[in-house]
Amino acid sequence: MEAYIHPTAVIDEGASIGANSKIWHFCHLMSGCIIGRNCILGQNVFVAPRVSIGDGTKIQNNVSLYEGVVCEKNVFIGPSAVFTNVINPRANIERKEEFRSTIVKEGATIGANATIVCGVTIGKYAFVGAGSVITRDIPDFALFFGNPARHRAWVSKRGEKLSFRLGAVATCPVSGEEYRLSEGRVVCEA
């Protein structure tokens, strides 16, 4: 099935949209951006050139993805989340050669109104709480929130908090998958 594109959306020539994706009201996709299959872009989403959005990703209303942002598959980005691409912008100084990449790994969630300062990597299945300000890398399966955001807990692929017991093993209360904590990193044993 072809992608659905709302009549008010602006899709520049050279933008790539995968099958079964839905592009809603007032979105703007610039030339050179890549939207995977089965994605949903809510109203008023802006996607700059050379931004890549993986299959199954859901981006809620009022999100702008600037050059340098890469979202792997099955990422969730909440309403009005903010991404930057220059660390020290000035109106009178052009710094396009200083754009920093931001990578959002598979399965990660970014809550509503979170701010992601450029140059970070958000790990697989990590969870960024609503309103948080991310200024550094986030490990896989980590729950971060606050301003600045700090590591608060570990979560499963389903977004459930993990309680590690002896031997640094935890079980997701919903899926039953086991996770191992070692040297500050969590790995799913499934």
Yes or no: say if 77 and 110 are a contact pair by the CB < 8 Å rule. Answer: yes
CA nearest to 179, candidates 141, 170, 167: 170
Sequence letter at residue 2: E
User: Chain centroid to CA 149: how far?
Assistant: 15
What are the residues whose beta carbons fall under 8 Å from the beta carbon of 85, sequence distance 6 or more?
66, 67, 68, 69, 99, 100, 102, 118
List pLDDT tens digits, range 16-36.
Answer: 999 999 999 999 999 999 999
Set out the domains of the chain in order of their start, with CATH numbers: 4-155 (2.160.10.10), 156-190 (2.20.70)
User: Taking all residues of the chain, what is their mean pLDDT, rounded to a whole number?
Assistant: 96
Residue 161: pLDDT over 90: yes
Q: Is the dihedral of CA 146, 151, 152, 154 positive or negative?
A: positive
Return contacts of 50-54, CB within 8 angstroms, 24+ apart: 54/106
- pLDDT value, residue 110: 98
